[in-house]
A and B are shown apart, each in its own frame.
Chain A
Amino acid sequence: MNLKKFSIDFKNKKKLIPQVLTLAFIISVIAYFSYNAQVNMGNRGISFGYGFLSQESSFDITFSMIDYDGSYSYGRAFLVGLLNTLLVSVIGIVFCTILGVTIGIGRLSQNYLIAKTAEWYVEIFRNIPLLLQIFFWYYGALRLLPLPENAMNFNDISYLTIKGWYVPKFIWTNFSIFFSSVLISIIAIFFVRKYGKTQREQFGKHIPVGIISILILILLPSTTFLIGGVTLSFDYPELYKLTPTVYNFRGGVSIIPELISLALALSMYTATFVAENVRAGIQGVGKGQKEAAASIGLTRGQILKLVVMPQALRIIIPPTTNQYLNLTKNSSLAAAIAYPDIVLVFAGTALMQTGRAIEIISITMGTYLFLSLTISILMNSYNKKMAIKEK
């Protein structure tokens, strides 16, 4: 880092005075607020500190990916909330990318109907507040689903009901072996790609990297079933009678309607922005590039894959990452429909119980801040790497 940038020129009064004033203003604001906070907390008999994180939380969370009940600590509750936030964000990101890329390409289609449909999708879903969309799915559309006894049945494997979506549960033995085999195959693919690239660039040899990668990814993990002692069985959900009139499912995994509606609304809303980015990216590649590629005899698929996409991605990726960040931040709207994300669990229930407003809000905001800053730092370094290096 350039230290000279930080050094302050003490001789130049014109530069010194505004800076000192700014600093004094910031410090006095912070001092004033913290003095007030101290007085207020003193009056209410609470002292500042993060010790409450290890206390027993004594509240339940409806949906958790790790073991949790009331006997665990507030710290654990925070972790549950954070994992739930990450879960819905990852699901949202995956689906909004698929949907967004499809619609973005659709908007550029030569087919008039497809282009118009895609355009109207974007115009409709972009201009309705996300919160309303979440409410619509949760309180409106998903409430129309059937009760468990007449659930929508998908081949006796999974069931969609008003209480959620019941899917089979994966029961693994020796999951760690399987997982490490997947990791190893990913690393192997990385080396194969690298080898293929050098072969192509140095000797002009074409190695079918794609097929080899897929083969590795299928073969290596499946051998662990044969020799590694890995087994996989499914626990299917089944209907049972709770009371003579009330039915429910047991077994399997229940994906709660809160998660479904949140993921649905987030991905449909963010997809509109991703679609616009994709469209702008593809349009940003000069027409001459496509024509030049066509004139040397590349097929349409090859043009898209080898010429248009590499250049378009450079335009698409930065704003799209921004949208992924927005999606993660927007997932905090979960609090509105009681999906137990970090805001609801921590800034809601835990805050209500402990009354430690400053600590809890600062942790929550700090977590989001950490996520966003990490991603934007990674993004900036990626952009630097991808930027066109002019010679």
Chain B
Amino acid sequence: MILNFLKPRREKLNTFLSIGIPLISLSFIDFFSNSFFNINLTGFLPETLSYFFPILVGGIGLYLIRIEFSGVRLLDKFNKNVNSTTFNAILTLLIIFILFKYIPPLLNWFFFDADFAGSTKEDCTSGGACWVFVKVWFKRFMYGMYPNPEQWRINTAFIILFTLIGAAFFVSQKYKKYIILFMLFIYPIIGIKLISGGIFGLKWIETGAWGGLSLTLIVSAFSLILCFPIGMFLALGRRSTLPVIQYSSLGFIELWRGVPLITVLFMSGVMFPMFLPDGTYMDKLMRVVIAITLFEAAYMAEVIRGGLQALPRGQYDAAKSLGMGYWRMHLLVILPQALKLVIPGIANTFLALVKDTPLIFVVGLLELAGMIQLAKTNPKWLGMAIEGYVFAGLVFWVICYAMSRYSQRLEKRLSTER
């Protein structure tokens, strides 16, 4: 009887609301006074009970206002979204409390108590994050050890690249393909010459000085461009009917997919020089790019193979019935369609590639994460590790999040077209 009386009913909506809402408010007041003003309103209760008091009372309150089809729109929406069962109600309270408890201190550390002005560690006095560290080291984080007066070259190279990418989006279809061809085949040479120098009176800057975020982007861009044709051939080889080609492609793909990138980089660092003719020297960065290229080519091959498999058989039959040979069929009919299918997959591979580049620090190349490792061991800036990692994490997060969003959008757009 008493249980039936306590069961929230629509007829007694106002009664239940007027009991439930004060209970919820009470739970929030208790929580806030505890965590922000250090006043324990429920100190008279046993310790554990006092600790869980907000959740207990809030849970009861939420139970009392859980009335289906109450007719009050706001209440129905609230119940449906965050208060559908007792379990859900408790979780809702927990999440709200946790967020309120931990977000403000984090924000304080990150922004409100942080130091932005100054040029040495001593300028950081307020106890929050010391963004002075990032400010002072910013050029190093972006350009590595690249000499300051020459940094305009990296900037120019990247500005040209971004202009080209932007142009590719906006110009008409007719010129788009020329821009893309230029970007893939001619621009890389221009870019690398601009950055490394040695011609047209530009000062030669050895690759050891390259670093920071620009190196991350250079390594990932070059590996992507280079791994693409290799991956395509491997994918075609994997689907070939000729056993030697099929099994050698399969073996190559599985070999690289089965080992971690870090061992591949170790290999490029210490084992690869042993395989070159005595006395030849290959640039460290070049070796790293080759290693990453071979590694990613195997993943790319599997992505492209997915596209090849997804094409209906009719496409192959139709091309063959027109009398096309193997290469004509693939270049003109199969690959254009298959590649379009796997654009999201390629974007994901590139995403993984960007996230993998920090590993090149094992062979002594310092891109963004590596530069932070270097900066935080500087005697003048000890104890700045967290600021550095948060900064690098933010930079990588923005890049990767934007790319993953873009690839998701592509996926949606391409899937509706079919």
A: residues with CB less than 8 A from B are 5-6, 8, 15, 18-20, 22-23, 26, 33, 36-37, 39-41, 43, 109-114, 117, 123-124, 126-133, 135-136, 139-141, 143, 329-330, 332-333, 335-336, 343, 347, 351, 357-358, 361, 364-365, 368-369, 371-373
Contacts and interface: CB of A to CB of B under 8 A. Distances in A.
* Chain B contact patch, size range: 35 or more
A128 B358 CA distance: 11
B278 A39 contact: yes
A343 B361 contact: no
B389 A139 contact: yes
B373 interface: yes
A41 B242 CA distance: 37
B386 interface: yes
A338 to B, nearest CB: 12
A361 B244 contact: no
B49 to A, nearest CB: 20
Given A6-B243, A110-B84, A343-B262, 6 more contacts: A22-B245, A43-B278, A113-B82, A117-B95, A123-B401, A128-B355
Interface in B82-133: 82, 84, 88, 91-92, 95-96
B398 to A, nearest CB: 9
Contact of A132 (B84, B258, B273, B393): B393
B85 to A, nearest CB: 9
Contact of A111 (B91, B270, B393): B91
B243 A136 contact: no
A240 B91 CA distance: 43
Given A5-B243, A19-B245, A347-B266, A110 B88 contact: yes
Closest 3 CB pairs of A and B: A127-B400, A372-B258, A329-B260
A47 to B, nearest CB: 13
Contacts of B358: 129, 131-132
Nearest to B91: A114
B242 A36 contact: no
B308 interface: no
B25 interface: no
Q: Which of A19, A33, A111 has the most C-beta atoms of chain B within 10 angstroms of its own C-beta?
A: A111
Nearest to B88: A111
Contacts of A33: 275
B396 A128 contact: yes
B255 A369 contact: yes
Contacts of A39: 277-278
A131 B265 CA distance: 15
Contacts of B315: none
A113 B91 CA distance: 9
A332 B266 CA distance: 11
Contacts of A140: 385-386, 389
21 contacts: A19-B245, A110-B88, A113-B92, A126-B400, A127-B404, A129-B369, A132-B358, A132-B392, A133-B393, A135-B389, A139-B389, A141-B386, A143-B385, A329-B259, A333-B262, A343-B266, A347-B266, A351-B270, A357-B274, A365-B259, A369-B258
Contacts of B401: 123, 127
B172 interface: no
Interface in B238-293: 242-245, 248, 254-255, 257-264, 266-267, 270-271, 273-278
A136 B385 CA distance: 8
A22 B267 contact: no
A19 B243 contact: yes
A124 B244 CA distance: 44
Contacts of B254: 369, 373
Given A112-B81, A335-B262, A361-B267, A135 B274 contact: no
Given A5-B243, A127-B397, A132-B389, A357 B258 contact: no
Interface in B309-358: 354-358
Given A19-B242, A129-B356, A361-B267, A110 B80 contact: yes
A344 to B, nearest CB: 10
B230 interface: no
A22 B263 contact: no
A372 B254 CA distance: 9
B396 A129 contact: yes
Contacts of A135: 369, 372-373, 385, 389
A117 B96 CA distance: 10
B193 interface: no
Interface of B: 80-82, 84, 88, 91-92, 95-96, 242-245, 248, 254-255, 257-264, 266-267, 270-271, 273-278, 354-359, 361-362, 369, 372-373, 376, 385-386, 389-390, 392-393, 396-397, 400-401, 404
Given A139-B376, A343-B263, A18 B82 contact: no
A37 B278 contact: no
A117 to B, nearest CB: 6
Contacts of A8: 243-244
B270 A372 contact: no
Nearest to B373: A135
Nearest to A328: B260
Q: Which of A41, A132, A135, A333 has the most C-beta atoms of chain B within 10 angstroms of its own C-beta?
A: A132
A371 B372 CA distance: 33
A327 to B, nearest CB: 11
A123 B404 CA distance: 9
B173 to A, nearest CB: 32
Given A22-B248, A130-B355, A132-B396, A36 B389 contact: no
A365 B242 CA distance: 28
Nearest to A139: B385
Nearest to A127: B400
A126 B348 CA distance: 12
Given A135-B389, A139-B376, A361-B271, A336 B248 contact: no
Contacts of B400: 126-128
Contacts of B270: 351, 357, 361
Contacts of A40: 273-275, 278
Contacts of B278: 36, 39-40, 43
A20 B245 CA distance: 9
Nearest to B246: A5
A333 B359 contact: yes
A300 to B, nearest CB: 10
B411 to A, nearest CB: 13
B397 A332 contact: no
B263 A332 contact: yes
A136 B263 contact: no
A111 B82 contact: yes
